[in-house]
Amino acid sequence: MTTFYRQKSATPSDISEPAIIEGTSTHDSIPPNVDMLDNEPEALDNGAKNSSWAWDHFIQLSSDPKNPKSKCRHCGKVYACGKKKNGTSNMLVHLKFRCRKFVFKRDSNQKQLFMQPKTNQDDDKLIATTYNEEKCREALARFVLLDEAPFKTVEGKGFKYMLSVFEPRFHVPCRTIIARDVLQVYVDEKKKLKDFFVRNQQRVCLTTDTWTSIQNINYMCLTAHFVDNNWKLQKKILNFCPISNHKGDTIGKALEACLKSWGIERVLTVTVDNASSNNDAILYLSKIVNSWNWAIMNGNHMHLRCSAHILNLIVTEGLKDYHESISKIRNVVRYVRGSPARL
């Protein structure tokens, strides 16, 4: 006579957390939001053969039958493999995501869904990403800006091939279009920063410098330093422009025009080097800021001298006393490096 038994259903008390045994680290717990696509059914208690592909990479250790263990053939990690409590879930996750000596190959025909946070305020909400041609072009323009890459980079064969693999739908623009996109990014970022200064009335500290290029063109650069609403120090280049000469009035008028174009009136300090022309430039600018009624102590302490430039002048003057000795040492080094046989 054949006797039939009713299989007892699992109760909440029978379900426990995935157990990790000796030889494993605390980082080997199952990662959140992992879709267990290949979670095989548990093996039967009637001595049936293990059907999960995980057993091709694990060795079942001889241990307590009530708490069986398995060992990875590749890295030696040991996991609990109880058929009722654990099954092969831990082993499958280990092979897919954690084992550094085993490369898990996914099915090339399997589709993947990529997610991203919906907004900055709702980081816990995810939405499916969609292809956007304009955002791709903007990202490419920012790549050229941030990495200071030449415009001809986008016309390289290797670069085009890489993007065709990443996103076949994206049409790589030519260097002329990328130059326009870079200019548009500059215009957009300038508008954002200008709106920030106008809206917050931020007090800023300025640094400026002038120089002459090898083409005999005079340039001036103006940088603003300020603390944002999150109490983080920010540094933004406001202007990089050619100037006619290095006279104080010319520099002062260029600074005034730049501040007006950005809507900046609250100037705290201006740091410059020790050139005599900068004294006249800061004197001119302090009068302008005083007329805007935003100067502190009538602008008497607006002028700051660059400490690095002062230190450079001190060292340069000090080395003049040892110029002859330094020249001899340089000649010796030049002679030794002139031929590999002298090394």
Same domain, 141 and 165: yes
Of 80, 98, 116, which closes a domain? 98
- Residue 52 in any domain: the answer is yes
- Residue 185 in any domain: the answer is yes
Same domain, 27 and 91: yes
- Residue 108 in any domain: the answer is no
Question: Cα angle at 255 between 251 and 257, to 5 degrees?
Answer: 115
pTM of the model: 0.57
Residue 90 structural domain: 15-98
- Residue 270 in any domain: the answer is yes
Label residue 205 by pLDDT band (50, 70, 90): very high
**Per-residue tokens: 324:** 């002859």
In contact, 178 and 140? CB cutoff 8 Å: yes
The contacts of residue 226 (CB under 8 Å, 6+ apart) are 202, 203, 204, 205, 233, 234, 236
Residue that the structure tokens 């006619």 belong to: 244
Domain CATH number, residue 217? 3.30.420
Which residue has better confidence, 113 or 10?
113
Same domain, 209 and 296: yes
Which residue has better confidence, 64 or 217?
217
Comparing CA positions, the residue from 269, 289, 287 lying closest to residue 225 is: 269
- Residue 107 in any domain: the answer is no
Comparing CA positions, the residue from 122, 106, 183, 110 lying closest to residue 151 is: 183
Comparing CA positions, the residue from 144, 152, 238 lying closest to residue 182 is: 144
**DSSP state string for 169-186:** T-----HHHHHHHHHHHH
In contact, 240 and 272? CB cutoff 8 Å: no
Domain count across the chain: 4
The contacts of residue 283 (CB under 8 Å, 6+ apart) are 248, 252, 303
Give per-residue pLDDT as tens, 50-94: 678 888 888 888 767 778 888 898 898 888 887 777 788 888 888
In contact, 282 and 302? CB cutoff 8 Å: yes
Which of these ranges, 18-32, 107-121, 300-314, 318-332, has the smallest mean pLDDT?
18-32
- Residue 123 in any domain: the answer is no
Same domain, 89 and 154: no
Q: What is the mean pLDDT of the chain?
A: 80
- Residue 119 in any domain: the answer is no
- Residue 88 in any domain: the answer is yes
Residue 112 pLDDT exceeds 90: no
Comparing CA positions, the residue from 185, 188, 191, 225 lying closest to residue 208 is: 225
pLDDT of residue 17: 42
pLDDT of residue 127: 65
Same domain, 330 and 251: no
Does residue 288 sit in helix, strand or coil? helix
